[in-house]
Amino acid sequence: MSNIPFYQSQNNEVELFGHAFNNQLPLLIKGPTGCGKTRFIQHMAAKLNRPLYTVACHDDLTAADLVGRHLIGDGETYWQDGPLTKAVREGAICYLDEVVEARKDTTVVLHPLTDDRRILPIERTGEVLTASPEFMLVVSYNPGYQNLLKGMKPSTRQRFISMRFDYPDIETETTIVQQEAAIDKDTAIQLIELAHALRVLKDHDLEESASTRLLVYAATLIKSGFDPIDACRAAIIEPLSDDEETVEALMEVVRAKIVPTKKDASV
């Protein structure tokens, strides 16, 4: 169990994932940046003792990046499997992070794997692979970034069972920050209260909220002896905005929520 990455369950997501895996169902996870989607997949892969292939999707991702391609080496051509093909062959979990960032002609290759066929045709080799019983396809995206160009097609979305993630409640998030950064509870609570204050501003002045990941970063800096106010600026505030006025306004929230060091208190 010590090799399983820490993950603090929020609802029934662990149970749902287990049922999806056992019934060979593809899974879609929706949730904001830094709320624990990737950690959850890592946790479940380790818990189920399955290899994990993770692909960070982007605009230039091609079908060949997922399936594989012919390469030239030692004067001859040979085939190299991509991460999706490796997962299909090995009975691994293939996780496509931010799948809506990939081109739609790329994600079409997923369709035969997301119905009762569970096959992967490889046009360049003429193979038609039948997925191992332990193969599982998991995709994720952030609904907050959806628009007409970046949304997932309904016909694709309905090929998956789906779960929605959000930032944890105060108690759960406190536990996560304490566990991840090995920091004291009082400091963790201050950071969580800061995050909730910043998240209120999300719909008004910020494109994204302060994520649990950023709180862990700040807690890690504080734990190592870095000044708490400066840690919050570097790990939370600066990643949220490039606008100097916005950063300074957010720093006022930090100063109201975070207890400064004795050095700062004397200034």
pLDDT digits (tens, 9 = 90+) for 94-148: 999 999 898 877 888 999 999 999 999 999 899 999 999 999 999 999 886 554 4
Hey, what are 125's tokens? 């080799």
**For range 155-177, the mean pLDDT:** 93
What is the DSSP secondary structure assignment for residue 36, as one 8-state letter? Answer: S
> Which SS3 state, helix, strand or coil, does residue 191 take?
helix
pLDDT > 70? residue 259: yes
Q: How far is CA 198 from the centre of its chain?
A: 21
- Whole-angstrom Cα Rg for the chain: 21
One-letter amino acid for residue 150 of the chain: K
pLDDT exceeds cutoff 60 at 171: yes
Average pLDDT (14-34) is 96
Residue 170 has pLDDT above 50, yes or no: yes
Q: What angle do CA 248, 212, 137 make, to 5 degrees?
A: 135
Identify which of 235, 234, 226 has the alpha carbon closest to the alpha carbon of residue 264.
226
Q: How far is CA 172 from CA 36, 179, 185, 190, 258, in A?
A: 12, 11, 12, 14, 20
Residue 43: is it exposed, middle or buried by C-beta count within 10 angstroms (0-12/13-18/19+)?
Answer: buried
What are the φ and ψ backbone dihedral angles of 53, each rounded to 5 degrees?
Answer: -110, 120
